[in-house]
A and B are shown apart, each in its own frame.
Chain A
Amino acid sequence: MTVLDVSSLDPDVNQDAVVGRTLRQIAWSRLRKDRVAVVSMYVLGLITFIAIFGPLISKLLGVNPYDFNTDLLNDAGSLPLGPFGGVSLEHPLGVEPLTGRDIMARLLFGSRISLFIAVSATIITVVMGTVVGIVSGNSRGKTDAVLSRFMDITLAFPLLLVIIAMSPVLEQRLQAWGMPAGNPSRITTLILVLSIFGWPYLARLIRGQVLSLREREFVEAAISIGSSNSRILWRELLPNLWAPILIYATIAMPGLIGAEAALAFLGISVIPPTPTWGSMLEESVGYFTVDPFYFCVPLTMLLAAVLSFNLLGDALRDALDPKAGRN
């Protein structure tokens, strides 16, 4: 599945500025009227808050993601005592089977790592994709041909397979360059492999946009007054591209969150006992039938984030579409 597909983006986004209001103002007022978008933004705001202040909140609640509480488990199947997987005042979301670790604390810490991976990979992807896309679209001839072929080749690789195969190799390299072993190098590896194969999608999209933008009058005008090439690239073209970039970043996030979960499922995400949404989901799947509540917690969190990003992406696409609302 092309998770990061952007082919349905409207190529004409951002072409006609309406007199009096900038596109940004129009988009923002449309977005505020869209109830789904507003709810999504609140949910995402909440998740971001949780991710940033997670350790603080868990300290306030007096829970710790790594402490074993085996006294809260029954003897036979090591399942949590009490209703809903051991929900109590001390452990608001219950405890894990087998270890008795607090699920709330693990979720708070895990959100932070999951979002950190997704946000970092998105930023690298967007920066690389935008730079390569603009350069490729603006330069005619050889540079464009080479960069385009490079994108094609990167896109031809089987994403998941190469990520799985490359991760251990890349991790060894990072450690050889002095990165501390364990999670720092593991998380860096994850971010790098996810970015390396993500940027060509955006680069292609931006290239297409630049190809049509550079034929427009304002670029011609800039050339005629003797603007330098780099001024045209970054001052004239880039401001016209922020709409597709923003939409892309919004729909790339859920793809990356899902990718982390998939990698966790295959056992190559962060090193246990560090939690992420993906690793929590992977661990809880085994207790699906006996302790369903444990499974529902990370799933709800992951789905809330992914759904909100997808819905917000749809809403943004509508809000930033200058043709919408006219017919």
Chain B
Amino acid sequence: MFPYIVRRIFIMIFMLTILSIVTFLLFNAVPTDPARLTCGKTCTPEIVAANRIRLGLDQPLYTQYIDWIRGIFVGRTYGSGSATFDCATPCLGYSFRNGEEVTVLILDAVPVTMYLAVGAFLLWMLIGISSGIIAAKHHGKWQDRAIMGVSLVGYSLPVFFLGLLFLVFVIVRWNLLPYPDYASPFEDPVAFFQTMLLPWLTLAILYAAYYARLTRSQMLETMGEDYIRTARAKGLSERVVFRKHALRAGLTPIVTSAGLDLAGLLGGAVITEYIFSLPGLGRLAIGAVTDYDLPTITATVLIAAVFVIVANLIVDILYAAIDPRVRLT
């Protein structure tokens, strides 16, 4: 087990390196001059030139990349002489549009996205897996058909549709909840829950529909295995067969899917955050794209990708730990 983990961590570091290079090139080798983007319409050529030198944009691309990476690990100082400013470790760059270090922007956004993703995750796993199990248990009967029908519609709805429906009816029409205005759960728990309830539900319903289908097909496949027949043949009650033999094997593959989906959401639930005006990573990224704020775009994409890669590693290790059939080669 231990050599396996070490090897996987090496592969992960390698992948992160490639990923950071690709992300950097994707957004920094652009046709537009990044220095020109550092100030608005009042820009003079002198300011642009000064900012170019200050941000190191006059250097060749590989030097810029190395400076960027070094900034993440040891921090970095922009400019020289009297016009310097420090960007503390981990420095992901400086956003001129926001007049703020990118790291600060990201650290503000991460908790919001995290609350959103984790809350929705718990809800959808609960709803999705339990309804999937019910459907599999009553395979072919009305319960199965009802759950599969509802989940198919839920799964087919456009992502933004459900959120908008909630927004228009629950908030605008029926005034059941106040307009979304994010507040930290430690400062104003009531406002926090009032704001997060609908986003949680929106995401949870969409994912639950998918997980209900996934769980059902996994359970049905497991129930068709030979060892289940063996368990029945040796006289175990149906309840024991289902709980002790089928459930564990059937639900193991769902771990992979769940881990990766959660990681994907942690990188920003773009549309849900956009609809409900949640100041998370997704909304930060959308704002950065609209403003052409390159350091922020690069950093948010990198952070989101890091979440996925790390989750990939955790899921694989977890999988190897719970499924004895996985060979560690």
Q: A residues bordering B, Cβ < 8 Å?
A: 1-2, 5, 7-8, 149, 152-153, 155-158, 160-162, 164-166, 168-169, 172-173, 176, 254, 258, 261-262, 265-266, 278, 281, 285, 288-289, 299, 302-303, 306-307, 310-311, 327
Contact = CB atoms under 8 A, between A and B. Distances in A.
B87 interface: no
Contacts of A262: 158-160, 271
B30 A5 contact: no
Contacts of B271: 160, 262, 265-266
B102 interface: no
A115 to B, nearest CB: 16
B270 interface: yes
Interface in B272-304: 274, 282, 285-286, 288-289, 292, 297, 300-301, 304
B268 A7 contact: no
Contact of A165 (B157, B158, B210, B297): B297
Contact of A289 (B172, B260, B267, B309): B172
Contact of B257 (A2, A289, A306, A327): A2
Interface in B150-208: 152-153, 155-161, 164, 168, 172-173, 206-207
Contacts of B282: 161
B312 A156 contact: yes
Interface string B53-86: 0000000000000000000000000000000000
Interface stretch (B14-22, B36-44, B319-327): B14-22
A303 B270 contact: no
Contact of B173 (A155, A254, A289, A303): A289
A157 B257 contact: no
Contact of A307 (B26, B156, B224, B261): B156
B222 to A, nearest CB: 12
Given A7-B253, A158-B267, A153 B18 contact: yes
Given A1-B261, A254-B156, A261-B158, A166 B31 contact: no
Given A2-B261, A158-B305, A166 B26 contact: yes
Contacts of B305: 156-158
Given A157-B308, A285-B168, A306-B156, 4 more contacts: A156-B19, A164-B286, A288-B164, A311-B152
Nearest to B27: A165
Q: Ordered nearest first, which 9 A-B pairs have the shortest CB separation?
A: A158-B304, A306-B156, A156-B308, A261-B158, A158-B267, A265-B160, A156-B305, A8-B217, A160-B270
B173 A161 contact: no
A172 B29 CA distance: 13
Q: Is the interface of B mostly helix, strand, loop or mixed?
A: helix
Given A160-B270, A161-B301, A258 B286 contact: no
B264 interface: yes
Nearest to A175: B31
A196 to B, nearest CB: 11
27 contacts: A1-B206, A1-B210, A2-B210, A2-B257, A7-B253, A7-B257, A149-B14, A152-B15, A153-B22, A156-B312, A157-B304, A158-B301, A158-B305, A160-B271, A162-B26, A162-B301, A165-B26, A165-B297, A166-B26, A168-B289, A258-B158, A261-B159, A266-B270, A288-B164, A302-B158, A307-B156, A310-B156
A176 B31 contact: yes
B118 interface: no
Contacts of A152: 15, 312
A176 B32 CA distance: 12
A278 B309 CA distance: 31
B301 A157 contact: yes
B14 to A, nearest CB: 8
A288 B171 CA distance: 14
B214 interface: yes
Contacts of A306: 156
Contact of A8 (B26, B173, B218): B218
Contacts of B292: 168
User: Which of B31, B288, B292 has the most chain A CB within a 10 Å cutoff?
Assistant: B31
A165 B285 contact: yes
Contact of A161 (B152, B217, B304): B304
A307 B15 contact: no
B156 A327 contact: no
A173 B26 CA distance: 12
Given A161-B268, A266-B286, A327 B224 contact: yes
Given A302-B158, A310-B155, A161 B267 contact: yes
Nearest to A302: B158
A90 B69 CA distance: 63
Nearest to A317: B217
Contacts of B253: 7
Contact of A164 (B14, B168, B261, B289): B289
A119 B21 CA distance: 32
A41 to B, nearest CB: 17
B161 A299 contact: yes
A278 B271 CA distance: 14
B158 A156 contact: no
B153 A307 contact: yes
Contacts of B153: 303, 307
Contacts of A164: 270, 285-286, 289
Contacts of B14: 149
